[in-house]
Amino acid sequence: DELLHECLRKEKSRALREPAPFARQTGYETEIPHEKLTIAQARKGTPAQRPVRVYADGIFDLFHSGHARALMQAKNVFPNTYLIVGVCSDELTHKLKGYTVMTEDERYEALRHCRYVDEVVRDAPWTLTPEFLKKHKIDFVAHDDIPYTSAGSEDVYKDIKEAGMFVATQRTEGISTSDVITRIVRDYDIYVRRNLQRGYTARELNVGFIKNKYRLQNQVDKMKETVRTVEEKSKHFVNRVEEKSQDLIHKWEEKSREFIGNFLELFGPDSTWRAIQERSGRMLQALSPYSSPRGSPSSSPTRRRSVSPDSLPPAASPPSSPSYPKKRNRSSIKAASGY
């Protein structure tokens, strides 16, 4: 037993360092008796030298995480499982399902390097026959429980289910080979332009005469990207200007309120300026002579003394007109002169 366990440990260690082997054309050969197991016996556990041989088949085109998760479930459906994976050939797949992206050899190698796979069967049959199950000593077949309609059958796993050899796995939602291909077809132009930029020729991409179209489209996309960049920078600039404007408006409002407050404090009804004026007025009244303007009451606290008319000095008479000698007649002038 210790030797057997050591051999199994080395086998598992080798499986992590090397790809899974291909199944022999002659099938599985062993000296250990291979008795048929029930699901209850398999779930309870089997001896180390007698693992439960579980078979899972498929196309496995564009091998993805959904495939890997299904194989992980098949590997862990029983405590001691030896997982055999069958991969259908290109010829059979193209005939019954459709064209594949990867070739059969590429699909074989993808499965050989999956950590959950212990053995790969090349050119696997589309429908499992009793002869195939016996040849590879298969105990159970793992697949999702959805009826698989193909090759004129409502469910290719119908006979396996009726024989009690079927164990169900769960599909991974959101990922499938068809989904991946749909993404590529949907964004076909993007991937063609990407590969042209990476050095693939138009002939290799089977685009031929539309190469110039993609070159022009690339230039248009670059222009769009440039415009988008300019728009983003413009928006950033406008946002900064708006922020600065808001700051200036707030500062202006603060200064305005401060100016108005100072003005009202200085010139308002109870302002400092009015108090200064009143104080100045009182000082001027204290320093000015006690006289008041004509026709107005005196601002002096004492009245002027009354003056009598007799005490006034005599009024000056108006100046007299100058006296000139009277004219004499001509005869008197002659008598005076002796003529």
Is the predicted pLDDT of residue 324 greater than 70, yes or no?
A: no
- Specify the residue for token string 């108006």: 318
The pLDDT assigned to 306 comes to 46
Which residues of the chain are in CATH 3.40.50.620 domains?
A: 11-169
What is the reported pLDDT for 304?
47
DSSP state of 171: -
Burial 187-210 (b: 16+ CB within 10 A, else e): eeeeebbebbeeeeebeebebeee
CA triple 191-192-198, angle to 5 deg: 90
Average pLDDT across the chain, whole number: 80
Query: Dihedral through CA 29, CA 32, CA 34, CA 35, nearest 10?
Result: 170
The fraction of the chain above a pLDDT of 70, given in percent, is 71
CA-CA-CA-CA torsion sign (14, 15, 19, 24): positive
The SS3 call for residue 167 is strand
d(C-alpha 15, C-alpha 83), whole Å: 12
- Band of pLDDT at residue 192, cut at 50, 70 and 90: confident
pLDDT at 180 over 80: yes
Average pLDDT on 330-336 reads: 49
89-147 confidence digits (pLDDT tens): 999 999 999 999 999 999 999 999 999 999 999 999 999 999 999 999 999 999 999 99
Banded pLDDT at 307 (limits 50, 70, 90): very low
Model confidence pLDDT, tens digit, residues 206-228: 876 555 666 666 677 777 778 88
pLDDT (tens digit per residue) in 149-172: 886 788 999 999 999 999 999 999
Question: Which whole number is the average pLDDT over 285-295?
Answer: 58
Residue 52 has pLDDT above 80, yes or no: yes
Confidence of residue 301 (pLDDT cuts 50, 70, 90): very low
118 touches 15 (CB < 8 A) = yes
pLDDT at position 178 = 93
Of the options 1.10.1740.10, 3.40.50.150, 3.40.50.300, 3.40.50.620, the CATH number for the domain spanning 11-169: 3.40.50.620
Count the helix, strand and coil residues of the chain and give each as a percent rounded to the nearest 5.
Answer: 50, 10, 40
Band of pLDDT at residue 49, cut at 50, 70 and 90: confident
- Is pLDDT above 50 for 339? no
What is the rounded CA–CA span in Å between residue 244 and residue 242? 5
- The SS3 call for residue 56 is strand
